[in-house]
Structure 1
Amino acid sequence: MKNLKNIDFLLFDLGNVIIDIDYQFTFNELNKLLPENKNHLVQLFFPSNFHKLYEKGLISSEKFRDEVRLHFQEDWSDTQINQIWNSLLKDIPKERIDLIKSLRSDYGLAVLSNTNEIHIEKVNEILAEHHDLPSLHPLFDEVYFSHDLQLAKPSEEIYEVVANKLNTDPSKILFFDDLEENLLGARTVGYQTHLINHPKGLISFFENVL
């Protein structure tokens, strides 16, 4: 059990921590759209260099869409690409929003996510439609996105930058992520960490420690 009395900031990933994501759904959607002889390109999409560059904010949304068209050799519209790309973003359960709100009086709260401009626009739409919130900012003291920082997890540098921005010793940050490799990078810098590997994982953690 963590001693949360020694924690200044609770730091949250977005995907599968705050918002549910389903990569397989997007894979399936792409496979439906593509002829069978292009299905192999689907598995190469997420590891692609242009995806990583976009996640770090090193190419624009326009350039990213052009790279998607080139990668799949399809003349998809910007709207089609946005819809496909955002199809992995699912629900933000109300219980997670309520939990975050309940923690604000006792802890500093922040987000650190590997994400991109197109996804965040969609996340804001989901928040507005289902939770009457314009963005993540009313819920958190600080919000850090990889495409703004031009760095990405699990590099040690991004965790050092965030600790400096929070003006907090890394050992007083408790970081929640759904990927062990991201937690490993954070622990190397000195963060406390907790793996979220179940849809109820975040809720269960706080039920056990508070």
Structure 2
Amino acid sequence: MPIQAVVFDIGNVLIDWQPERHYDAVFGKARREALFRTVDLHNMNNDIDLGADLEARVREEAAKWPDWHAEIMVWHDAWLELAGPPKEHSVRLLRALRAKGAPVYALSNFGVGTFALAEEKWPFLTEFDIRFISGHMQLVKPDPAIYAALEEAVPEAPETLLFADDLPANIAAAEARGWQTHQFTAPQGFADRLVAEGLLTAEEAR
């Protein structure tokens, strides 16, 4: 069925999300590996994505691990250094789709506070027709409920949506609901898919 709207994940699709890279730069790889083995920072971040307050949740975790207090607080104090830079080709694809009149939606696991920081630094995150941000919804991918919430809010049928996400579990959850999907690995592959679907020309997808 022809695609009528494109749904973008944000982390690792429109902006990098590799917090380990910043920790390596600041503390060194060995210290970072020891930290991440000891403290489940990604689980902490999942709570933030579900709507927990960024500073309060990071301080709570830091208080549990006094030997790692400074490192854990980086998740709050330098969050904008953990994320980014933008994937400029992906941003061009977003804007090219908008220029063609294709509806574009965001469906992203993102905290309330972290998303406020991100959209201020990267204004292209305000350019979607509708944004479905997990922290505001208190639902995270791949919970089927977050996909259902998007389906209820947009006019397009599920089978006419093209969803780009980097994580296989999130892709599988969308496919289970009949969405068309693209597992994102690099902007060029997504550009090629948009051209193949007739949403953009090769020139527009550059």
Q: TM-score range by the shorter chain?
A: 0.7 to 0.9
1:159 alignment partner in structure 2: 147
Task: Report if aligned partners of 2:50, 2:140 keep a CA contact under 8 Å in 1.
Answer: yes
Residues 121/8 of structure 1: CA separation in 2 closer, same or farther (3 Å cut): same
Alpha-carbon separation, structure 1, partners of 2:53 and 2:19: 22
Q: Is the 8 A contact 1:41 1:72 kept in 2?
A: no
Contact 1:112/1:144 (<8 A) preserved: yes
Aligned mates of 2:21, 2:36 — CA distance in 1: 12
3-state SS of paired residue (2:17): coil
C-alpha distance in structure 2 between counterparts of 1:83 and 1:27, whole Å: 13
What do you get for the CA RMSD once the two structures are aligned? 2.8
Q: Which runs of no fewer than 5 residues in structure 2 stay unpaired?
A: 199-206
Distance change in 2, residues 1:159/1:85 (3 Å) = same
> What is the aligned partner in structure 2 of residue 63 from structure 1?
56
1:8 maps to what in 2? 4
Partner residue, 2:157: 169
Deviations 1:123-162 (CA, angstroms, capped at 9, x unpaired): 22432xxxxx3x522x210011110110000111111111
Partner of 1:42, secondary structure, is helix
Q: Determine helix, strand or coil for the equivalent of 2:131.
A: strand
Distance 1:10 1:180, change over 3 A: same
Runs of 4 or more, structure 1, over 6 Å off, are none
1:102 to 1:196, Cα distance in 2 relative to 1, 3 A:
same
**2:125 corresponding residue in structure 1:** 136
Normalized against structure 1, the TM-score is what? Answer: 0.78
Closer, same or farther in 2 for the Cα pair 1:197/1:121, shift >3 Å? same
* Structure 2 residue 172 is the aligned partner of structure 1 residue 178: no
Over residues 148-196 of structure 1, what are the superposed CA-to-partner deviations in whole Å (9 max), with x where a residue is unaligned?
1100001111111111111332111110000111000111112111101
Percent identity between the two aligned chains: 23
Alignment coverage as a number of residue pairs: 195
